[in-house]
Structure 1
């Protein structure tokens, strides 16, 4: 570093070698960490100086890519998203856009007529932007996203046929014993309202038995005469348990048989039960399910036997190549499929789609969609197939050509690391410099 002292101010200049070193440190480590590194080099500068050096750098000279990959990244998760564009052939980022709108993406493509292939996921704004901005380019849907979407649809199908996951228990030989009748009281022991009502009923009947009149009992207990009359007519306190809300129809009633069945199968997590019926269309919140479980199911005996596999585990078995399944998982899957023809059909559709993905057999996709849409007992799979028809050309290209968006996903992950490293200083312009130059 060269420094000269003047009368009114000090002037310092950096050699080109030092400036290049500081720029390299700033691009690699950003502000705070970079400033600590310059201390180790014995040329200390502030974190703001490093960031100013990065911001002053010109954009790198790049040629228009022939194969471009596009994906979104989060500037503020859930609120603000941008777009990252990568040259798939050189595996280098070529630009960052401040939003993920179709108009912005289309304008960027229109300035680069040499683009021949656009690799993307199935987001509608990227599909629309590619169609308008580069009508000459071939759009390729990413295979990983297709497989991931199939897995989500398969898991919903398995949840729908959750009862098939538990093997049917063998019926014991000999006379069948009748179960003991359930108690007639709708209010269990320990319920606050029930205990209060039982205490009032016992007190009122004790006073009446001792010879007090009903009006006298009403004055002593501070109750109305009509209340004393109702308690006196009830021979047992259970006759008073006629709460208005208890017999009123609720939206949970249609799902109570399913909750009872899942409880018998071993699922005792109220939150998990609520998530399952929410997938089936239950419109209310968690509190109703929690109250029903605590009031009606908690303490109820469960069926004896091994716990059935979860729907997610069965889905994982369906999405795994049969030769890669451990022996124990393979036997459990065979048991599940033997009990449910719908899941057997799901297994066949899933594995045929997997062969298309693994061997790039996109020409078989129309036949697969036709077979999947004809399955009435697997609505989630049918909806997945119908969505593929809306983007059919890009999906067929994704299942036929070797191009994919894997390198773009890698740069999205790298952007997350850069944002964490910059400790809140990752504004768009500064972040764009680091992504393109680092």
Structure 2
């Protein structure tokens, strides 16, 4: 196999394991926490009094995790260096009354989350995962990773118009997966999950469940230069940031407090208690300052010197649709992380922020690229502008260039995850 000298396959192998173990945001933060625990971090309770001790700590809330490392000698006004990302991906999520069906088919009622490429969910073997809320107030993570559901496509013989009009999918009528034969019975899906997970009948009172493709991530191509897998938008960044924080915690002399901030609900606007537009990050950083004996003045000084890299996937130039890209900006797979720019503030990057990112890449020996949207195309956005506006901190939008964004299965260069993690590590180390 040919590959660049920078390609650290062990990092990408671990990303494959991370993606496979993280079918939902709740599983993703549990996977990140497990890696941080091995690096010496410990969980702190939001409802308890915090101490000002040094070392690595993290907070878990739903599908979000905030982790930080306080080095020896850090003052109350020491600035933070933050890598922001999000844990959610577009998919199909189970409705409150999940049991439905028609004409002898048993189906699961689902709602469309975010902006998925609907056609990518057709005719795939699908599992079901998420969290169950129990009568005793606890929650249980569940993952049925075997073939359980399928969204069957209509045969071409019954819709010849596809040749002229293309595939037309109605989100309500055409996206309800089947999972068996017979009449729909109320409570059937939840009873199945209780039995599957050793939970007593009737103990589940709430659920946050979502469908996922069970096909595992895999290297692709003659020379395995590519990686295909689910939820790269944006678990690729969550994994890289987790690895970077663990590395920075063992780097020795740090002039900043490195932070991982992985939020939920980016794909539908970030407005939740676990989203980037909620109070979670600000609350954690403020409490960290106060726990170290700081004042409001110390917090203001710390935030004034803080920088955040908002890491999210971006668009690699598509060989079949190159005209949809800016003609002078063509990010390529395995070309290194991308710096994302939009002068209308869909991305938060400005010139001084670019300098911070370039410095990190140069110190890490990592190449970087630029992304801007074609002027005739609308530009997407990230948690970057939200983070900058909500907390008043300098924020830079970066990421990895991929194809098939928002598909059930996306594609990136197999070098790029390691290159991103190396740049993030250099940034966090300052």
TM range (shorter): under 0.3
Give the greater-gyration-radius structure (CA): 1
TM-score (norm 2): 0.24
TM-score (norm 1): 0.24
Q: Which of 1 and 2 has higher RCO (CA within 8 Å, sep 6+)? A: 2
